Amino acid sequence: MSDSLKQLVLTRFREFVREPEALFWSLAFPIVLVVGLGIAFRNRPAEVVHVAVVGQPASAAVVMSSLRASAAIAPESLTAGAAMQGLRTGRIALVVRAEPSGGVVYEFDDTRPDARMARLIVDDAVQRGAGRRDRVELSESQVRERGSRYVDFVVPGLLGMGLMGNGIWGIGFSIVDARRKRLLKRLMATPMSRTEYLGSFVVSRFVLLVLEVLLLVGFAALAFGVPVRGPLWQLSVICVLGALAFGCLGLLIAARPRTIEGASGLMNLAMMPMWILSGVFFSAENFPGVLQPVIQALPLTAVNDALRASMLRGEGLNVIGAELLILLAWSVGSFVLALKLFRWR
């Protein structure tokens, strides 16, 4: 490594350490997100549905007896007015109106998923209370395995999002700010090549990458038991290629703008589609098939898919090879274009 490149890399570190905001958003904020989402979507006992039973005392008593036999139902005997009030406010998911003839009427909002589920659970309890028997013998086995929880799904997505944000924002804003302050113009007079200057941002990102990945993955594994089933060296390769791809993309975005506002608009234009489409908080498979070729070609999609395959399923390079090639293509293409388009003034 040349002396010019060493000094430039040290400068990048000093700039980063002297900005408390950058330290928070790069290292602390992803952990805060993991804590919040991990608590919100932690493993909990099955939900108990709250239903109201209305009708003549004799008819309502029969229905209440059937519902109390199910541990998944919390029935209440209410007046018609109180039951409808509970339904409107969301405290009650379903109203069961017991008819004198022995039948029941279900009143619920069919646009609410919890209400539709309550209707099925309550009807099963009512029919069993009336003597129904299953013609097919049933059994069930509950499986709760690490890797299938929402927190397991979202941690690789947050790691990929962090790699993207730190690569594009961290590099792009620094370059545009230096151009705005005319520091780049002064650097032109030094024995420094354009490749060394741009490369210093990429090299500095690798060192910060180690700290970022260790903190996020280590905390998620210790606090929530998020699995890392693939080898650590493979996880490192994915993160390095991801950081390289986003760092080079940040260089490309910052190659021409002269104002922070202009650079911010371009960065948001590049990142917003990936935040939405690339499966950070929910699967990218939810989008229509016609969009899938575009979605799969995005660098954040490649990072997230590779991280989940390695961490959650323990897949090898033969499975994630296509994603790694996509990241490599983004890295080389963005860096070459950044070198050609880079403006010093």
pLDDT given for residue 223 in this prediction = 84
User: Torsion over CA of 157, 158, 162 and 165, rounded to 10 degrees?
Assistant: 70
Label residue 330 by pLDDT band (50, 70, 90). very high
The number of distinct structural domains making up the chain is 2
Mean pLDDT value across residues 335-339: 88
Please indicate, yes or no, if residue 137 is contained in any of the structural domains.
Answer: no
pLDDT given for residue 59 in this prediction = 86
Q: How far apart are CA 297 and CA 312, in angstroms?
A: 22
Tokens of 121: 């659970």
Looking at residue 229, its amino acid is R
Q: What is the pTM of this model?
A: 0.70
Mean pLDDT value across residues 69-84: 90
Phi/psi-derived region of residue 119, left when phi > 0, alpha when psi is between -120 and 50, beta in every other case: alpha
Which 3 state secondary structure label does DSSP give 95?
Answer: strand
Q: Say which CATH number the domain at 69 has.
A: 3.40.190
Please indicate, yes or no, if residue 138 is contained in any of the structural domains.
Answer: no
* Distance separating the N- and C-terminal Cα atoms of the chain: 27
3-state DSSP helix/strand/coil percent for the chain, to nearest 5? 65, 5, 25
Q: Compute the C-alpha angle 225/226/231, nearest 5°.
A: 115
Instruction: For residue range 221-265, list pLDDT tens digits in order.
Output: 888 888 899 999 999 999 989 988 998 898 899 888 888 888 888
Among the candidates 102, 129, 156, a domain finishes at: 129
Instruction: For residue range 30-69, list pLDDT tens digits in order.
Output: 777 777 767 666 655 667 889 999 998 888 888 999 999 8
Q: Do both 311 and 224 map to the same domain?
A: yes
Please indicate, yes or no, if residue 292 is contained in any of the structural domains.
Answer: yes
Q: Do both 53 and 27 map to the same domain?
A: no
Q: Do both 9 and 111 map to the same domain?
A: no
Which domain covers residue 74, as residue numbers?
49-129
Q: Do both 291 and 162 map to the same domain?
A: yes
Q: Do both 75 and 212 map to the same domain?
A: no
Q: Do both 124 and 150 map to the same domain?
A: no
Least confident of 135-149, 162-176, 221-235, 329-343: 135-149
Which residue in 274, 246, 271, 264 sits closest to 338, CA to CA? 246
Please indicate, yes or no, if residue 328 is contained in any of the structural domains.
Answer: yes
Q: Do both 217 and 298 map to the same domain?
A: yes
